[in-house]
Chain A
Amino acid sequence: MSILEVHNVSIKYMTGDFKEIGLKEYVMRRLTHNYKVNEFWADKNISFTLEEGEMLGIIGSNGAGKSTLLKVVSGIMEPSEGWVKREGNIAALLELGSGFDGDLTVKENTYLRGAMLGYTRKFMDETYDEIIDFAELKDFQDRPFKQLSSGMKSRLAFAIASLVKPDILILDEVLSVGDGAFRKKSEAKMREIISGGATTILVSHSLEQVKELCTKVLWLEKGKQIAFGDTAVICGLYQQYLDKELTLAQAREKWAALNRHYDWLIVGSGLFGSVFAREAANRGKKCLVIDGRRKPGGNIACEDMDGITVHSYGPHIFHTDDRDMWNYVNRLVKFKAFDGGFGEAFQGLPEKGWNSLIEKLLENIPTVTGLSYVRLTEAFPEIADRVLYTGPIDGFFEYSLGHLEYDSLKIELEELELEYFQDRAIVIPEENDEEHEGCTRIIEYKHFLGEESEKTVVAWEYPQEWLPGRLACCPVGGEKNENLLEQYREMAKEVPEVIFAGRLGEYKYRTMAETVAAALKSAATELA
């Protein structure tokens, strides 16, 4: 049974003439029909429920309506619309430092605050010493409150408030009280209360704190509910919103997308995943694409640096002798021929960069980036009937048998105040360059698309040992890795609804054209 239920709560504030004008002016304006009142919804249609022992984090920018919502939940305010149902007693610790009386002594204020929080006199008599000790204000007991520093004030406030033993506890920014030492003490105390089983609502500007403590998250923005549910997923979206990678509308859309059911979940938005998703969508299947990286596209993802399209994970050129594959990609976006020296009939790359190809492939297909498969399935275990997993197969099984090995590259990007650094896109450096010792290739990106800019971006590539977390390029292969792969494939048979595909999912290197071909073939079989 839910301990707290907030149903469609809206709170209306009024702004306009009424404040500060006084009775005389009010009467005058009323008589002259000049009286104006504007309505302002501090919160609109907020709904959520909490079960016993859950901890809810409320996130959102300033003015999102968080504090107002807390006031309604705690019963200080009545909602203009909707209702709140509470089981058990509730304690709200809102803006702790204020509301004391400067003329009274510390001791008197302690009792007064205790009384406000609903403690009994007996309880206060018993715990007063404990409070003062905790707040470290023993020597200040009989001083007028106004003589305390603001840090001392909030310490006292916290010490009193933290004695509550409610069923529902509401904390508004109270975990960030006092200096370093006291802060630690107060956090420990807070955790003690929370672990006591109280259902807790926490408003915090520290996203880390919310991620660490909360089991659920409510995201508000300008009074509107953007999302309510799984902490990791919502915090991920919120972080992308804060980093301006997502607009509010997009974040909302993505959250809504996550709350639907799909025929196919495609993990990884690289070339394989994106082609498969396009094919599935074209066949009328409902698909959701997710990617652990913040940007879609896998290793072909590009970024723009001063008008130069830079391949973030090393240069990619589409090359093939297969006319069908060349036509397939050219139907999607316009390609520019580029001789990469592969000696094949069709060589080139999209005129507007690889991102444009991925965008076209994923057009109208809900895509959530910055979200790993593990996080998604923890939050939405039943989200899709079938899964196409293009992530690393060993990663799917949490590397339980060990890591498959890859080649890896370290890429050093440098923006230079030159028009051109070299006359070609790719140059194998001479051996005696001391500054770039060990560099195997130098790539100057503006050559690929013939982009014009006063600056240029150059990448130095260094082979490096692959370690988990580093950029994975080609599978190394070899007997050891093949044996390990075989064992993982055995394990994969236990999850028949998941298809492992792509370079990482199959542990197999393919050119881009081969990847497209493989994705199309896989789509033809699986989606028939």
Chain B
Amino acid sequence: MMLQKLIQHRFLFEELVKRDFKKKYKRTILGMAWSILAPLLQLLVMALVFTKFFGKNTPHYVIYIFCGNLIFTFFSDATKGGMSTIMGNAGIFTKVNVPKYLFLLSRNVQALINFGLILIVFFIFVAFDSLPFTWKFLCLLYPIGCLILFNIGIGMVLSALFVFFRDIQYLYDVFTMLLMYMSAIFYTIDRYSPMGQNLFLLNPVYLFIRYFRKIVIEATIPTIWFHLLMAADVAIALGLGCFMYKKYNTRFLYYV
């Protein structure tokens, strides 16, 4: 159903993606370079500051942080950008009858492109750190796929909420900051009790980061349960998002 509509509106979708892309990079090479540079600078600072504390006991510490940064940047970029998609396109859907999720999807495509660019840099770092590329790297497609869907789901929830509550923007900023500290991006969790370590698994973003580290640094494939847990998180986020869009689809108009 959704796919059918997507095909029907393919031209519009393509134009929306183009629009978001152009607006993001402002048609400059520097614009594109900056979107890679920013997370790299963040990585640099983190590596400089935290290597002293965690670096000694953590093998491939730079890659360890990079995994966290890579995932977290994608997540926060896609969801923060996604939040404003309904409000930002009110001028369109109040005049033309188009599915509203198109705007969100196009914004997510743009975030995905950004993610792809950083991912390439990530692999270059991996190669420099003389970590072996194995066939297990193919498994990374699973968390990437899951993360895309997860981002869409959260984006739907946020963009719907943003229509009704404009202060969600600030609340979500605070939330993402807290989430970042709880996602073990620059620290390791092995000092916590087993119970405490399990609590980290409740954080979906941590799951994605952990998956990347397992494959890239430890060269092991996570358990089937780990996969299922991730799938469940995605299902919940996406389900909630779809539910909100379905329920409020016709009511957005009253609020924008």
Residues of A within 8 A of B (CB): 13-14, 18-26, 71, 74-78, 92, 94-95, 98-101, 103-104, 108, 111-112, 114-121, 124
* In contact, B94 and A76 (Cβ under 8 angstroms): yes
B 131-170 binary contact with A (CB < 8 Å = 1; else 0): 0000000000000000000000000000001001111100
User: What are the residues of chain B within 8 A of A112 when measuring CB–CB?
Assistant: 12, 15-16, 19
Chain A interface: which of B95-103, B116-124, B222-230?
A: B95-103
**A78 to chain B: closest CB distance in Å?**
4
Stretch at the interface among B36-44, B210-218, B237-245, B248-256: B248-256
Which chain B positions have C-beta within 8 A of A20? 166
In the assembled complex, the CB of B87 is this many whole angstroms from the nearest CB of chain A, namely 12
Closest to A68 in B: B253
Contact-residue bracket for chain B? 20 to 34
* Extra pairs beyond A104-B22, A119-B11, A121-B11 (17, CB < 8 Å): A13-B254, A22-B166, A23-B161, A24-B171, A25-B167, A26-B165, A71-B94, A75-B97, A99-B94, A99-B96, A100-B91, A101-B19, A104-B19, A108-B22, A115-B14, A118-B12, A124-B11
Give which listed residue, A25, A92, A111, contacts B96 with CB less than 8 A: A92
Give the docked Cα–Cα distance between A76 and B90 (Å).
12
A100–B89 Cα distance when bound, in Å, is 10
Contacts of B92 in A (CB 8 A): 99, 116
Structural contact, B164 and A116, CB atoms closer than 8 A: no
A115-B11 contact, Cβ under 8 Å, with A24-B167, A92-B97: yes
**CB-CB < 8 A to A13: which residues of B?**
254
Residue on A with the closest CB to B168?
A: A23
Contacts of B22 in A (CB 8 A): 103-104, 108
* Minimum CB–CB distance for B184 against chain A, Å: 28
Cα(A222)–Cα(B16), bound, Å: 37
B96:A116 contact, CB within 8 angstroms: yes
Contacts A23-B171, A92-B96, A119-B11 given; does A78 touch B250 at CB 8 Å: yes
| Chain A residues whose C-beta falls within 8 Å of the C-beta of B12 in the assembled complex | 112, 115-116, 118
Residues of B whose CB lies within 8 Å of any CB of A are 9, 11-12, 14-16, 18-19, 22-23, 91-98, 161, 164-168, 171, 250, 253-255
Say whether B19 contacts A108, CB under 8 Å.
yes
Decide yes or no: A76 and B96 within 8 Å by CB, A22-B165, A26-B165, A108-B22 being known contacts: yes
A19 in complex: contacting residue of B91, B94, B255, CB < 8 Å: B255
Q: Which of B16, B95, B97, B254 is packed against the most chain A CB atoms within 10 Å?
A: B95
Report A-chain residues with C-beta under 8 Å of the C-beta of B167. 22-25
Closest 10 CB pairs of A and B: A22-B167, A99-B91, A115-B12, A23-B165, A78-B250, A115-B15, A75-B97, A115-B11, A116-B96, A112-B15
| Nearest chain B CB to A523 CB, angstrom units | 58
Question: What are 28 residue pairs bridging A and B, where the CB atoms are less than 8 Å apart in the complex?
Answer: A13-B254, A21-B165, A22-B166, A23-B168, A23-B171, A71-B94, A71-B253, A74-B97, A76-B93, A77-B253, A92-B97, A98-B91, A98-B95, A99-B92, A99-B96, A103-B22, A103-B23, A104-B19, A104-B22, A111-B15, A112-B12, A112-B15, A115-B14, A115-B15, A116-B12, A117-B96, A121-B11, A124-B11
Given A20-B166, A26-B165, A98-B91, check contact A76 B254 (CB 8 Å): no
Name the residue among B9, B15, B161, B168 with the largest chain A CB count within 10 angstroms: B15
CB-based contact B15/A94 at 8 Å = no
Q: Are B98 and A116 in contact (CB under 8 A)?
A: yes
| Alpha-carbon separation in the docked complex, A26 to B19 (Å) | 35
Q: Which residues of A contact B164 (CB under 8 A)?
A: 18
Residues of B within 8 A of A19 (CB): 255
Give Cα distance in the complex from A23 to B158, angstroms: 12
Most buried by B among A13, A76, A114: A76
Min Cβ gap A323→B in Å is 71
Docked Cα-Cα span, A24 to B253, in Å, equals 22
Inter-chain contacts of B165 with A (CB < 8 A): 21-23, 26
Q: Which chain B residue shows the least CB distance to A121?
A: B11
Determine the chain A residues whose CB is within 8 A of the CB of B253 once the complex forms: 71, 76-77
Residues of A within 8 A of B9 (CB): 115
What CA separation (Å) do A14 and B97 show in the bound complex?
A: 21
Kindly list chain B residues whose C-beta atoms are within 8 Å of the C-beta of A74.
97
Check A77/B166 contact, CB under 8 A, given A98-B91, A111-B15, A119-B11: no
Most chain A beta-carbon neighbours within 10 Å: one of B91, B92, B96:
B96
Interface centre among A23, A104, A115 (most CB of B within 10 A): A115
Residue in B closest to A15 when the chains form the complex, CB atoms: B254
Give, as a whole number of angstroms, the nearest-CB distance from A100 to chain B.
Answer: 8
A19 to B255, CA, bound (A): 7
Q: Which residues of A contact B94 (CB under 8 A)?
A: 71, 76, 94, 99
